[in-house]
Amino acid sequence: MLGTRPLLQLAADLASGTTTSRELVEQALAVIEAPGGEGSRAFLSCNADRARVEADASDAMRKAGAVPSPLAGLPVSMKDLFDVAGEVTTAASPTLADEPPATRDSTVVARLRAAGAIVLGRTNLTEFAYSGIGINPHFGTPRNPWDRARGRIPGGSSSGAAVSVTDGMAAAAIGSDTGGSVRIPAALCGVTGFKTTVGRIPLDRVFPLSNTLDSAGPLAPTVTCCALLDAAMAGGDVWASNTALPIRGARFGVPTTIVQDGMDDTVAAAFHAALDRISEAGALLEDIAFEPFADIAEVSAAGGILGAEAYALHRDRLAAKGNMVDPRVRTRIERGAKISGADLLDVIEARAGIRSRADAIGADYEAILMPTVAIVAPPIGDIVASDELYAEMNPFILRNTTFGNFLDRCALSIPIHEPGEAPVGLMVMDRTGADAHLIRVGIAVESVVRRF
């Protein structure tokens, strides 16, 4: 299936003539349009005609010897935060449906097109990207590929992005990560997600949530796939540096502070089995107290930087159209009104000290290893039926990933579950700006923990 095949394998098939870009696009469109499938919930819009034209053009260019990158001719999906020329960016909110169409592509979209990728359409998300659950009452919630009969949450906010990959609606997807919105759906749905260091990938013409914390990143089958997409979006050399770091002798820190609390049996079993495999491969694992995590939880209890910036962005919109917003999202945004300027300055000052302490603790390790999410995906129906359960589950699901955003670190979520079992992600977190190093570490870790 399209979304489970590594991008370099698809690129090799295109190069050999085994398939064509048009055939890949048609495969993706067939899944998107399949009756009873998740296409109508995963995608908010799909420009099938344009995708076919671009695929035919890519095939013609390939015959002429013009192949701009390994992404050439591959269909990708875009989270509905990124401007695409001629289309309205809605952030999955009816409050933005009447906004004028974008006049040009965001830099992310433009760079992917320049690399030859085919942008199929815009994927669903939690309204305004403000939740780790992935539920959207306006446009539906795409169901997690695991236990689909019962219907489990996909994780958020990049819900449609993850499902577009798992179901073969796209070869890969582009999402955003402010508190875990790439890594959470990647972990819960069983794909790889890459949270990049803030500022490496330009966010012009991308609908914001927090100017301080927002980052863009890919969801794809493997770490190498993510590196390919990252290289195109960042215009850098992460892909050129993607040889695996030797895992024998590598040192990894395993935090015992907070991030392992509340793990369910499935996550605990998968996490400890992955650590065992990494150790058996010759890496050195060390349990470490990571007190900065406790400090982050304390200083962010009132909403922190994200709460303040989200409220500043949306307060006028809520005043004018608040009745159109998902009440659960609106309630979270409105909490930001209680954060004073002095409170925000306190958090900003505290953040600098916490980051410094975290850097000192992590300096001796190649990366930090922890569960991406402490539980497997709960049923959609249970969350929808209970405001109390939603209020409990949302911060719990966001807990581990949010630490990386506060520290402005780069991080991967790598699938570690057994085939057919509930998806579980291993988070591999590296230092600020160490994205190229993280890719090398991630490829090495993936080679020993991935079970399918």
Q: Which residues are catalytic?
A: 79, 157, 181
User: Which residue pairs, CB below 8 angstroms and at least 24 apart, start in 352-357?
Assistant: 354/292, 354/295, 354/296, 354/299, 354/406, 354/407, 355/292, 355/407, 355/408, 355/432, 357/291, 357/292, 357/295
Torsion angle in degrees (nearest 10) through CA of 224, 179, 297, 134:
-110
Instruction: Give the type of residue at 184.
Output: I
DSSP strand pairing (192-195 vs 425-429)? unpaired
- Rounded Cα distance between 179 and 52, Å, is 35
Strand order in the sheet with 43-46: 43-46, 118-123, 75-79, 172-176, 216-220, 192-195, 411-415, 425-429, 367-371, 251-255, 284-288
Pick from 133, 115, 344: which is nearest to 218 by CA? 115
Cβ atoms of 158 and 178 closer than 8 Å: no
| CB within 8 Å of 68: residues ≥ 6 apart | 114, 115, 116
